[in-house]
Chains A and B, each alone.
Chain A
Amino acid sequence: MQVLRHLPTSALAPLTLLLVGALQIGCSDSNISLEDLEAAAAKLETTAGEDADAGAAVMEILDVEKPNLKFGFIKLTDCAPLVIAKEKGYFEEEGLNVEIEAQSNWKVLLDRVIDGQLDGAHMLAGQPIGATIGFGTQAHVITAYSLDYNGNGITVSNEIWEQMQENDPALKSDTPPHPIPATSLKPIVDSYKQEGKDFNMGMVFPVSTHNYEIRYWLAAAGIHPGMYTEENIQGTVDADVLLSVTPPPQMPATLEAGTILGYCVGEPWNQQAVVKGIGVPVTTNYDIWKNNPEKVFGVTKEWDEKHPNTHLAVIKALIRAGKWLDATDENGVLVNRQEAAKILSGKDYVGADEDVIDNSMTGTFVFQETDVRPMPDFNVFFKYYASYPHYSDCIWFLTQMRRWGQITEGKPASWYAETAQEIYKPEIYRKAAAMLVAEGKASAEDFPAEDYDGYRDVTTEFIDGTPYDAKDPVGYVNGFEIGNKDPESLAKQ
């Protein structure tokens, strides 16, 4: 844009307007070619700026292979970076003309990315992983951008909540102590079992964070959520609680209909249950694992190979959107979230009412009318390097897939690391980040240090306190009471 400043824009304006008219009448439907444009521009007196900065280095302009893109998303607030990048013009500044299209469910979304109807999509972090290792649909899907941390909750119906309160009097308070483990749910599940009734709960997709989180939460209290085996891909072997797939927006209605007694889903579908008075969120995934990875931006490997510059441009725009979403003032208050909530409430995006969306988006979470808690980290889009594709995040999903039997055979530790490198592509992220830093649109501190190896620190910030070390995935899998166990020898391979 440097040269543009040299142009006498004031003199240009009236002429260009004329031209706009001429172009539009002449070529409203047919394609405008370079010759047409040059003919039009020739009429303009352009004083090419003197080569004032002749000595300065010239930055290369990104040659975008495919400017017209279509991305898919599911109606959830964590698609925000995509929506913001579009609405705030970040895509446009990268020369991209992006359409964002709602998809009916996660399977349709993934299939459409794989068969090329969509260029990329807002995906469950487990989807690129599941697809690449061949659980469900087999296709090599990669991600270079993690859309957010946290953002899910577990909600139970009012009736179950009352029974939980009876089992644990501490929950009877207006502001019960958090985090709420599933221990008070266990007697209810047991009594259902004794009566021979199914205890049904909902999650959104077999490889979704929600599936692993609700399983983690249940298993931490000794409730068996069921195993996947080669024959049973429903994940209901030995199950105390039957988990079934329900599309996110249908969760509250399904709960109200009594088909499920609780669910794990992203926002705004937990807050919706509170606002409508049909259920009580008992915990969020922030309490299950602080700053857990949630959604990613996924494309197929093939697409990335064909459109490397386009991919970079997309990641650049997404990084800027993430930064915008997490911008705070000097008091640490998120400044752009109200506006984000308003944009997301549009009917072509999430479509729920703004006052339902802005609860969680602006940093508070309503558990009950009496229990409104500040949760500034409920949705993290950029802080804590949330948008960087950490290998350790990918490996966590792989450990959970192994734990619950979606990966049917034990794998050596090296397999976890190699698979993570096949799917998570921090090198693309790094490149995009470097370009933004060079353009002055981001600072180097926004991104992990150059020597960062992609493994987040070992953490015990889980609801059950089990430490997670991504460099010892086999040991981690074996550290749980409920779930598959692998031979220790694999840890050293």
Chain B
Amino acid sequence: MNWRGKALKFCDVAGLPALEPFVRLLAGEDVKEQLKGIAKFVVLPVAAVAVFLMLWSAAARTVVTDSMRLPSPTDTWTAGKELFAMHSAQRAEDLKVKQEKTLQAVQLLAQANAVGKQAESATGERKETLLANALVLKKKAVQAANYRPSSAPTFVDQIVTSLKTVFVGFAIATLIAVPIGVLCGMSPWCNAALTPFIQVFKPVSPLAWLPLAFLIIVWAYSGTKPGDNFFDKAFLISAITVSLCSLWPTLVNTTLGVASVDKDYMNVARVLKLSWSQQLFKIILPASLPLMFAGLRISLGVGWMVLIAADMLAQNPGLGKFVWDEFQNGSSQTYARIAFSVIIIGVIGLVLDRIMIFMRNLVSFGDPQAA
């Protein structure tokens, strides 16, 4: 395949049809046709965004109440830049403090040794106090050396936390949903047994799960001290809520995918006398992968949506908490920061979706259709 073919294939698999006309143009194909493509996939969306920004600006001038006002696109952009500037400032500050702390650790240790020496020559109660002090100073030195910044998480920290949470929740959901889905797809009996659960729980609003997830996590962690555990309670609550909601699309699609594997394939498998596991791994799974990925894609989208809401409700760290805290702040910057967060949440959602499309297209046979 020449570079043109490879590039076109990439556009296809990555789900980036907007790039296709450019590739074709570079390859010297019909210019008029390609310009039409560019107009459709690039110029038109850009124009639409421009119109949206104009409408938004107009709305920002109109929607003003006594205590609130809709931020304009410029306000939002400025607020966003400020958030990132605050993040870098915080990082620089943290690093500085950390260095100071290390220095302090050494000084504390020197001090501890000095106190220890003093103790050698002292007697009685004085000696005991000095020895105790030396021990405490040593402990403090170790603490200072292992200092962790205690500043509030920045916007970027919150993005990272949210991403981690959604991936953990999504991973848990996938690990549960795919095997059950395969089982249900292969065995109508199993499917019949699980159908009531799927039908009842699938439409439940994700946030209704939150108090139950909370209860279960708090129960599971009862008797343990915070900080001793690998995962934070709050983190797990959010993650479990995400998995409880992103379970169903994967489960249903996997079931469907497995159940609708082409009869011809199965007949071939029978002719070849493939064992059960061979059938599963050589035929059923590969054949149902496209539908499975379609399910995973919906799951991840639902999960991301739910996560933000769960953060807001439960005050778990993440973008949702950031938005909620800002709403509670009521400063003149509040709504601009919220608007910026909304856009960032949307963009991240989009990127997550693209990643899933990319993965689905990678495993699809035939003609992948970007959506």
Give the docked Cα–Cα distance between A34 and B116 (Å): 15
Q: Is the Cβ of A347 less than 8 Å from the Cβ of B331?
A: yes
Q: Is the Cβ of A75 less than 8 Å from the Cβ of B328?
A: yes
Q: Is the Cβ of B110 less than 8 Å from the Cβ of A272?
A: no
Q: Is the Cβ of B66 less than 8 Å from the Cβ of A24?
A: no
A380 to chain B, nearest CB (A): 24
Q: Is the Cβ of A97 less than 8 Å from the Cβ of B147?
A: yes
Give the docked Cα–Cα distance between A103 and B334 (Å): 17
**With A3-B114, A97-B148, A99-B150 in contact, do A351 and B329 touch (Cβ < 8 Å)?**
yes
Give the docked Cα–Cα distance between A471 and B145 (Å): 51
A136 to chain B, nearest CB (A): 17
Q: Is the Cβ of A20 less than 8 Å from the Cβ of B111?
A: no
Closest to B126 in A: A58
Q: A98 to chain B: which residues have CB within 8 Å? A: 150
Q: B132 to chain A: which residues have CB within 8 Å? A: 60-61, 63
Q: B106 to chain A: which residues have CB within 8 Å? A: 16, 19-20, 37, 40-41, 44
Q: Is the Cβ of B133 less than 8 Å from the Cβ of A60?
A: yes
Q: Is the Cβ of A24 less than 8 Å from the Cβ of B328?
A: no
B313 to chain A, nearest CB (A): 8
User: A351 contacts which of B151, B218, B328 (Cβ < 8 Å)?
Assistant: B328
Contact with A along B87-114 (1 / 0, CB 8 A): 0000000000011001101110111011
Q: A108 to chain B: which residues have CB within 8 Å? A: 315
Q: A116 to chain B: which residues have CB within 8 Å? A: 225-226
Q: A487 to chain B: which residues have CB within 8 Å? A: none
Q: B333 to chain A: which residues have CB within 8 Å? A: 347
The reply to whether the CB of B332 lies closer than 8 angstroms to some CB of chain A is: yes
Q: A232 to chain B: which residues have CB within 8 Å? A: none
Contact with A along B60-89 (1 / 0, CB 8 A): 000001111000000000000000001000
Q: Is the Cβ of B150 less than 8 Å from the Cβ of A97?
A: yes
A54 to chain B, nearest CB (A): 7
Q: B225 to chain A: which residues have CB within 8 Å? A: 116
Contact with B along A1-24 (1 / 0, CB 8 A): 101101100001000110110011
B365 to chain A, nearest CB (A): 44
User: B148 contacts which of A23, A24, A68, A95 (Cβ < 8 Å)?
Assistant: A68
The reply to whether the CB of A370 lies closer than 8 angstroms to some CB of chain B is: no
Within 8 A of A (CB), among B322-346: 324-334, 337
**With A54-B122, A60-B129, A117-B226 in contact, do A41 and B113 touch (Cβ < 8 Å)?**
yes
Number of interface residues of B (CB under 8 A): 62
Give the docked Cα–Cα distance between A103 and B146 (Å): 27
Q: B4 to chain A: which residues have CB within 8 Å? A: none
B333 to chain A, nearest CB (A): 7
Chain A interface: which size bin? Answer: 35 or more
B317 to chain A, nearest CB (A): 9
Q: B111 to chain A: which residues have CB within 8 Å? A: 1, 3-4, 7
**With A3-B114, A98-B150, A253-B68 in contact, do A347 and B329 touch (Cβ < 8 Å)?**
yes
The reply to whether the CB of B9 lies closer than 8 angstroms to some CB of chain A is: no
Closest to B121 in A: A51
Q: A353 to chain B: which residues have CB within 8 Å? A: 331-332
A453 to chain B, nearest CB (A): 33
Q: A59 to chain B: which residues have CB within 8 Å? A: 129
Give the docked Cα–Cα distance between A79 and B209 (Å): 33
Residues in chain B within 8 A of chain A (CB atoms)? 65-68, 86, 98-99, 102-103, 105-107, 109-111, 113-115, 117-118, 121-122, 126, 129-130, 132-133, 135-143, 145-148, 150-152, 218, 225-227, 233-234, 315, 324-334, 337
| 22 contacting pairs across A/B (C-beta < 8 A) | A3-B118, A4-B107, A19-B106, A37-B141, A41-B113, A48-B113, A49-B114, A59-B129, A64-B140, A95-B143, A97-B150, A104-B315, A104-B324, A104-B328, A117-B233, A249-B330, A253-B67, A347-B331, A348-B325, A351-B325, A351-B331, A352-B329
Kindly list 8 other residue pairs between chains A and B, CB separation below 8 angstroms, not including A38-B109, A67-B140: A3-B111, A3-B114, A37-B105, A102-B328, A347-B329, A348-B325, A351-B329, A353-B332
